[in-house]
Structure 1
């Protein structure tokens, strides 16, 4: 046993050093670390969607650039300010009285029932419409039509994730936590649904994965059944710091669009293409 323990210590030592270095950097530069992490996560999620899920021969760099900008501006900068500044100030009396465990439900409610439905999804659909060359009125019609389905998919993953985030995750790691949950969920659900199974027809893979990957996306991530249409990984333009990115148009008895990086390429409307993204 001592020998096994020594081997394990040797194997985990590099990861411990990297984790400590990352934590120290995040403590010293919390906003920069969160924003950079979110941008890298958004970029990786979209590349994963395009090359692994959609199996594109060439990367759509225009779409990729839009996602990265969304990850920087919305999921990184805005969500950092929202979670680490506004939420802290708004809930300060409750936190002082009952601690983070007492204020976490309120923060999660504001994030999931106000922030995402009224701000995140409209921004996502507007960006999606810009990428597809559609008028804002049409994008907002899609937003209204699929709002309830998107919220249900979002809440399945991000309500418990945000409760953990606002309860035990320190401020300087909240944005990285959201980005990590979002990307991990995107990869896991893609593998579970056969995105890595080359024997499965692409159309069938896209159909299965689309609505399963919500929000993105990130941030951003919750399963739902649907028909294939077009999608991309969510939320990075992480629906939030600790909140997440995300498929585009999808329909089935009652399911709709979700996620952020669901932005589809110019040909995304083709039923055979279905990118996936979480916030």
Structure 2
């Protein structure tokens, strides 16, 4: 009887587990449906951009570069993540609409368009969305694009080509932004570092002193 009771408890536990799994599956199906996909992608982008900045701030506190967490900075990065999430959502839909197929040629075309067109747009959007919160938005935006654009663009070419081959070849459109953001968590740490790293400006030398 004791063994029978234990068996039934195990069965009940398994059924409860299946119920949870079924419920979770339903939530995922709804979240990644066409109706809610934009909201899902933006939420994912906001969340992981925030986590990336928190991780970077944790490191900066550890290395004594700053004293405590800056909540406003994380909120600003979250806003930037929302802007990037909207762009990614529509960009992947456009790519998959006009370049159909998963042959080597199709994947290569998507990869080149992603790197040559969309990556620069993403970087400019990143700096532009954050500049909105600064005292001199236009001036700061121009300065940061001039000083930091190339740094981030080089990083884009190191990180994304191999990652995007997997993205374009194996994944359906609805999961592209999720995959994108998962891979970019480490990259988000780096972009936060580049954004908030103070540029050291060397004053021009007086020609008379030479």
- TM-score exceeds 0.5: yes
Correspondence 1:109 to 2:118: no
Q: Distance in 1 between matches of 2:43 and 2:146?
A: 32
Kindly indicate whether structure 1 or structure 2 has the higher relative contact order, using CA contacts under 8 Å at least 6 residues apart: 2
Partner of 1:62: 72
Correspondence 1:36 to 2:82: no
Correspondence 1:81 to 2:70: no
Partner of 1:269: 198
More helix by share: 2
Give the SS at the match of 1:54. Answer: helix
* TM-score after normalising by structure 2: 0.69
Preserved contact between residue 134 and residue 140 of structure 2 (Cα < 8 Å): no
Give the SS at the match of 1:247. Answer: helix
Preserved contact between residue 79 and residue 129 of structure 2 (Cα < 8 Å): no
Q: Distance in 2 between matches of 1:22 and 1:233?
A: 32
Correspondence 1:247 to 2:193: yes
Displacement of 1:138 in angstroms is 5.1
Show structure 1 runs of 5+ residues with no match.
Answer: 1-9, 187-215, 218-231, 235-245, 249-261, 272-279
* TM-score after normalising by structure 1: 0.54
Equivalent residue for 2:98, pick from 68, 90, 95? 90
Partner of 1:182: 184
Show structure 2 runs of 5+ residues with no match.
Answer: 1-13, 201-210
Partner of 2:59: 53
Q: Distance in 2 between matches of 1:180 and 1:59?
A: 23
Displacement of 1:142 in angstroms is 3.8
Displacement of 1:149 in angstroms is 3.6
Preserved contact between residue 131 and residue 138 of structure 2 (Cα < 8 Å): yes
Displacement of 1:148 in angstroms is 3.6
Partner of 1:151: 153
